Amino acid sequence: MPKQTNVLRWFPVLFLMAVIFWFSSQPSNELPNFSWADAPIKKLAHILEYAALTFFIWRALRFQRKYRWLAWLIAVAYAATDEFHQSFTPGRFPSVWDVAIFDNLGALISIWIAQRFSDRCGESVSRDR
């Protein structure tokens, strides 16, 4: 039964990675255009999707503090590979700025919020197991 629990913990991570991969596989002419708000909305999407990805990774790692930076590293590494993947999609191009600023920011915000929430609620977040 513990192996099934581990699989269930990682399912949201893999599902979200697949969704991100699917979106970056869409040619630019098939993406929605939000007129004057296009860039801000798409950058916000980067922040939110990598915040969620980092949260789910850290959750899969049982919110152990010693693994919070591993969760960040996995999310940012996935962001970098996703930008590379995007370079093969028609009309799309990789952006180091998306990874360095927006995806990274989302990952860091997620860790900060999850840590603050768990500390405030007095939940038993593993300190250094």
The single-letter code of the amino acid at 14 is: L
pTM of the model: 0.88
Mean pLDDT score, 68-73: 97
Residue recorded with tokens 């790692």 = 61
Q: What is the DSSP letter of 89?
A: S
Longest dimension (CA), the chain: 51
Mean pLDDT score, 99-118: 94
- Tell me which of 4-13, 46-55, 93-102 is least confident: 4-13
pLDDT given for residue 123 in this prediction: 52
pLDDT at residue 122 tops 70: no
pLDDT at residue 71 tops 90: yes
For 42, residues 6+ apart whose C-beta sits below 8 A from its C-beta are 34
Share of the chain above pLDDT 70, in %: 90
Which of 108, 111, 104 has its CA nearest to residue 125? 111
